[in-house]
Amino acid sequence: MESVLGRYRNLIVLVGVLFLQVLGLAVQVKRTTENEPTRLIRIWTVSTVTPLEKGLVSIQRGIRNLWHNYFFLRGVRAENRELKQEIERLRLQQVRLSEDAEQARRLQTLLAFKEQFISKTVAAQVIGSSGSEQSRSIYIDKGAHDGIAPDMAVITADGIVGKVMRVFRSTSLVLLIDDQSSGVGAILAKSRLQGVLHGRPSGEVVLEKIMNDEPVQAGEPVLTSGGDQIFPKGLPVGTVSKAFKGSESFLDIRVRPAANLSKLEEVLVIAQKEERAPSLSQTAPVRAVDVLAGRLPSVPDKPATEDPNKTGTTSAKTPVVGSTASQSAQGSAELTPKPTPANVARNKSVGNASPSSNQSGLPASPTPSDSPASHSRQLSRKPTTVAAPNNAANGMPSAAKPDQRKPDQPKQDQPKQDQPKRDQPGQDQTPSEDKPQ
């Protein structure tokens, strides 16, 4: 017996070591459905390897910054010129897009539509990879100490990267979207078809679960659908590079990731998301109903009053001041100036003009929110309303005096019937011009 053991000692040791590892594997595979604690060997290995990686990456970055920021500045002027042109172009584009966004937000508010907002992100440096083709994952230099937790989304400016898989004290393991065990809820931007994004063993990214009879074309952008509860909706994922009929009843759609997954340097971890109904921004406090009201035909204005004594009552009962839709939307608690010709004219042109900006009865002086166009409109327009009683005595229209109003003066003072003028031929449609439609 002893001779047998001695003769096959090495083989027995081999079988024993293999058996132990298989046993360990079996235990781990069984436990993957539960909350698997981090294995000690992982902590040791990661703690040993990642400090070296961190150090090397920071040295590499320092050298690169030194070179790019101080030595290699060729073509910077030309680039600067191009960037300025690009800024100008983007500014114009931003104006258009912000109006579209505001309108969308207003409509979403009406529908009580809730959306996810990224409220906190943590910037992280990529310091290493798993080093295996079968495990497409990276290490970042932020961990539990920095508020990172498992299942947080990781993105770049170009698109999504992956999700946090394991968190250590000062590092984290991020599973990339091209790994075969990853899964991302995705939607095709044009056709609005939803599917699941997976990685293939070869490293390709595919969009699955879209039926064969759906029209999908190459080049179509793919966005996150938000269905996975990890990535907020609408983040860029990539573009369709190829789409053809699969072996089953689903299409085989290959996706080219928007983020360059093979050359990641810095990433953003979405540390906090919040789900809330969109609120109207202060820059355009316009309700959709106001915008719609502005587009509807309505009764034209009455001519200016004939009796100065009645002016006070007229102005109180029939407020014809050019209040904008925004003003009417600002709520009753907001103090507004009494209608005078001065602020009438101003309000016609600028929705939120300051009441103290005009003391002479002339058209409102320019304020930061005034535009040259609005001034030209003011000058060409006759006041269509009457002066407030306190200003009518001297015959000169004067500026509104908010401090003379009663503090509890209700919102009825705020005129609401400016809409009729819009539909009169030859008149400005100032409120609607000043507000995004």
Partner 1 sequence: MPITYTSGEQVEVYRFSVPATILIPLIALFLQAWLPLGLHFFSIFDLPLLVTIAFAMARRGQISGLLTGAVIGLLQDSLTHHPIGVFGIAKTVVGYGASSLGVKLDVENVGTRFLVTLLFYVVHETVYFMVARGLVGLKLEWSWPHELWSALANALVGVALFAVLDKFKQRTCSL
Selected from 133, 213, 306, 307, the binder of partner 1 by CB under 8 A is 133
Of residues 285-314, which lie at the interface with partner 1 (CB under 8 A)? none
- Restricting to residues 161-180, name those near partner 1 by CB under 8 A: 165-166, 173, 175, 179-180
- Helix 76-110, helix 288-295: angle, nearest 10: 90
What are the structure tokens assigned to 25, written together?
Answer: 């594997």
Q: How far is the CB of 202 from partner 1 (least distance, A)?
A: 6
Write the CA distances from 351 to 293, 330, 381, 420, 433, integer angstroms: 16, 11, 16, 16, 10
Strand partners, 172: 140, 167
Between 49 and 118, CB nearer to partner 1: 49
Distance CA 437, CA 435 (A): 6
Binding-site member from 75, 131, 297, 407 for partner 1 (CB under 8 A): 131
> Based on CB atoms, which residue is closest to partner 1, 143 or 383?
143
| Nearest-approach distance from CB 429 to partner 1, in angstroms | 58
Cα distance between residue 295 and residue 289, in whole Å: 10
- Tell me whether residue 203 or residue 308 sits nearer to partner 1 (CB atom): 203
Tell me the Cα Rg of the chain: 33
278 close to 112: Cβ distance less than 8 angstroms: no
Q: Which two tokens stand for residue 385?
A: 């309303």
Residues 6+ apart with CB under 8 A from 82: none
Q: Which of 240, 264, 284, 399 binds partner 1 (CB under 8 A)?
A: 264
Q: In a 3-state reduction of DSSP, which class is residue 211?
A: strand
CB 187 within 8 A of CB 194: yes
Q: Which is nearer to partner 1, 57 or 189 (CB)?
A: 57
**Which parts of 27-86 interact with partner 1 (CB under 8 A)?**
28-29, 32, 39, 41-42, 44-46, 48-49, 52-53, 56-57
Pick the closer one to partner 1 by CB: 18 or 373. 18
Does position 135 bind partner 1 by CB under 8 A? Answer: yes
Range 208-224 burial, b when 16+ CB lie within 10 A, else e = bebeeeeebeeebbbbb
Nearer of residues 133 and 306 to partner 1, judged by Cβ: 133
How many angstroms separate the Cα of 271 from the Cα of each of 119, 143, 198, 274?
Answer: 8, 11, 23, 10
Bridging pattern class, strands 172-176 and 251-257: unpaired
Query: Closest distance between partner 1 and the C-beta of residue 227, in Å?
Result: 22
- Written as six digits, the tokens of 242 are 């190829």
Q: How far is the CB of 27 from partner 1 (least distance, A)?
A: 9
Please report, as residue ranges, which positions from 3 to 32 form the binding site for partner 1 (by CB under 8 A): 9-10, 13-14, 17-18, 21-22, 24-26, 28-29, 32
How many residues interact with partner 1 (rule CB under 8 A)? Answer: 52
The least distance separating partner 1 from the CB of residue 156, rounded to whole angstroms, comes to 14
Q: With respect to partner 1, which residue has the nearer C-beta, 139 or 344? A: 139
Residue 258 or 350: the one with the smaller Cβ distance to partner 1 is 258
Under 8 Å CB-to-CB from 265, ≥6 apart: which residues? 125, 126
**DSSP SS3 for 280:** coil
The residue from 202, 249, 282, 380 that contacts partner 1 (CB under 8 A) is: 202
Task: Select the residue interacting with partner 1 from 122, 124, 126, 206 (CB under 8 A).
Answer: 126
Question: From CA 162, how far away is CA 257, in angstroms rounded?
Answer: 11
Q: Shortest approach of partner 1 to residue 31 CB, angstroms?
A: 9
Q: Which is nearer to partner 1, 133 or 307 (CB)?
A: 133
- Reference 275, options 105, 119, 153, 111; nearest CA is 119
CA 371/CA 350 separation, integer angstroms: 8
Query: Residue numbers of the site for partner 1 (CB under 8 A)?
Result: 9-10, 13-14, 17-18, 21-22, 24-26, 28-29, 32, 39, 41-42, 44-46, 48-49, 52-53, 56-57, 126-135, 137-139, 165-166, 173, 175, 179-181, 200-202, 262-264
